Amino acid sequence: MATAPLPFNPADYIKTEEDAAFFLSEAFATGDPSFIAEALGILGKLKGMTALARETGLSRESLYRSLSRTGNPELATLIKVAAALGLTLSAAPRDKPTEQP
């Protein structure tokens, strides 16, 4: 008899700001905008959307909408949310693919 897999909730493993930064960095590494928005939503829920709304000056409803898999947050929203989460957005050179001989 097959058993159903247990649901995975990444929020169960994010305990520190370093964990949150790593999680968000990994989301950015995917290059998938919907996954990045959803990752920010997961972090927002960990903090509490009411507190996040208060700190960003955005409504809870717009945060839930923007920070979902179907959301499309503006850059200003990303910056405000990251700051409220104690994180910053930054850029780094992309790893170059290794050349085949």
- Locate 78 and state its tokens: 């990303």
Tell me if 92 sits within 8 A of 98, measured CB to CB: no
68 residue type, one letter: S
Indicate the average pLDDT of the chain.
90
pLDDT tier at 91, thresholds 50, 70, 90: confident
pTM of the model: 0.82
Report in angstroms the alpha-carbon separations of 100 from 43, 86, 94, 97. Answer: 39, 41, 18, 9
- Residue 96: the pLDDT is 74
The domain segmentation of the chain, as residue ranges, is 16-84
| Residues 29-87: tens digit of each pLDDT | 998 999 999 999 999 999 999 999 999 999 999 999 999 999 999 999 999 999 999 99
